[in-house]
Amino acid sequence: MIDLVDVSKTFRTPGGEVHALDHVSLRVEPGEIFGIVGQSGAGKSTLIRTVNALEKPDSGTVTVDGAVISELKGKELREARRRAGMIFQHFNLLSSRTAQANVELALEIAGTSRADRRHRATEILELVGLSDRAGAYPAQLSGGQKQRVGIARALADNPSVLLSDEATSALDPETTRSVLDLIRRLSRELGLTVLLITHEMDVIKRICDSAALMEHGRILEHGPMDQLLTTPGSRLAAELFQLGELPPERGTTIIDVTFTKQTSSEPVIARLARDQGLDVAILGAAMETIHDGTQTGRTRLEIPAATGDQVEAALSYLRSQGLFVEVVR
Ligand SMILES: Nc1ncnc2c1ncn2[C@@H]1O[C@H](COP(=O)(O)OP(=O)(O)OP(=O)(O)O)[C@@H](O)[C@H]1O
Ligand SMILES: [Mg+2]
C-alpha cells in the first residue's frame, strides 16, 4: 500500500520557484496497478521519487507498506527502500555485466550471499521469461528483453511495490504490450502493488485498475477506472476514449454512452433503434477489449430531432441496460 498525504515539494531554481508537488494526496491499494498521467513537467517523476525516498517532500507524509518513508533516516530508510523496486525508461542496466549479473547486483547491494544471489537471479529471470538470455550483455538484448532484465532486477529483492517511470516509452507498441502484460501477470502472481507513470493513455487502458491525472503539481482526478469513466465531465475519461469533434448544431440530441465490462456495444444500440423506433447514428466510438474479453469504452450517438419524450425514453432505456449516459448537447 502506498499513501501520500498532503505532500508538497518546491524546487528553487534561478528562474524562480517550481511547485513540483502541490498538496498531493493519493492512495494506492495493495495489489493495485495505479497509473499517473500528465503533461511534461506535471510532477509525475517527482511524485514517484518521493515513494522510494530519492526525493524528500518539504511537507506531508509518504507511507509505503506501513513505513513512513518520508520521515526515516539511515539504516531504517535503507531497509524501507527495499520495499520498492523501480524500472526506468532507458532500463539503466550496466553494459559491462550480463543480464544475470545485472540482477545479482541489486542483491549484492542488499548484502545477499553469493549463492543466494545466484539462485534468486536465476529464479527471477525465469519468472520474466529470460532464462535463455541470462548470459547475454545488454547490447545483445532487444529493448523488450532489456526491460525484462530491468523488471527482474527491480523484483530481485522481493519488494512489495513496483515503481515504473515511463518504462515502456522507449519500446514499440507490440513490445510495450508484452511488457505491460508481464507487469500485470507479476502483479497478480506476486501480489505486487504497482505505481506507474506514463504519457500514453494506452498504457492506462491496458493494465491499470485506477488512474490519476496530474497537472502543475496537483492531482486533478483520481479513482478506479470504471468510476472515472462514469464521472460526468471527467477529463481522463475523455482523453482515454477520444470521440472527436461535435458535428454542427442540427437540432439533434447528442449523447455519450459509456460501456464498462460489456461483451459488446452493438446489441444495445441496435435494440435502441428497433424498440424505440429511432434512427440513431453513431458519430464516434472508442472501445477497448480488455484481457477478460469484455469491452470498455465510449460511443457517441446522435438521436435525430425527436420529441422530448422520445429522447427521455431512449435515455431511460440505455440506463436500464446499466449504461452510463451523458447528454453532450
Ligand atoms: N532537481 C530539480 N531541480 C529543479 N527543478 C526540478 C527538479 N526536479 C524537477 N524539477 C522541476 O519540477 C517540475 C516537475 O518535474 P517532474 O520531473 O516531476 O515532471 P514530470 O511530470 O515527470 O515530467 P516529464 O513527463 O517530462 O518526465 C518541472 O518543472 C521540473 O523542471
Ligand atoms: Mg518524468
Q: What is the pTM of this model?
A: 0.90
Is 163's C-beta closer than 6 angstroms to any atom of ligand 1? no
Residue 235 domain-assigned (yes or no) = no
Q: How far apart are CA 254 and CA 327, in angstroms?
A: 6
- Pick from 208, 229, 250: which residue ends a domain? 229
Q: How far apart are CA 203 and CA 180, in angstroms?
A: 7
Instruction: Tell me, yes or no, whether 250 and 215 share the same domain.
Output: no
Instruction: Tell me, yes or no, whether 225 and 273 share the same domain.
Output: no
CATH code where residue 73 lies: 3.40.50.300
CATH code where residue 310 lies: 3.30.70.260
32 Cα to the center of ligand 2, angstroms: 21
Residue 177 domain-assigned (yes or no) = yes
Instruction: Tell me, yes or no, whether 26 and 146 share the same domain.
Output: yes
List the chain pLDDT tens, one digit each, 329 residues.
999 999 999 999 999 999 999 999 999 999 999 999 999 999 999 999 999 999 999 999 999 999 999 999 999 998 888 999 999 999 999 999 999 999 999 999 888 999 999 999 999 999 999 999 999 999 999 999 999 999 999 999 999 999 999 999 999 999 999 999 999 999 999 999 999 999 899 999 889 999 999 999 999 999 998 889 888 889 999 888 899 889 999 999 999 999 887 766 678 888 888 888 888 999 999 888 766 667 788 899 999 877 788 889 999 999 988 889 999 99
Residue 259 domain-assigned (yes or no) = yes
Is 40's C-beta closer than 6 angstroms to any atom of ligand 1? yes
Q: How far apart are CA 318 and CA 295, in angstroms?
A: 16
What b/e readout covers 202-221, taking b as 16+ CB neighbours within 10 angstroms? Answer: ebbbbbbbbbbbbbebebeb
Is 320's C-beta closer than 6 angstroms to any atom of ligand 1? no
Is 223's C-beta closer than 6 angstroms to any atom of ligand 1? no
Instruction: Tell me, yes or no, whether 39 and 177 share the same domain.
Output: yes
Domain that holds residue 261: 241-327
C-alpha cell at 30: 495493495
Instruction: Tell me, yes or no, whether 268 and 220 share the same domain.
Output: no
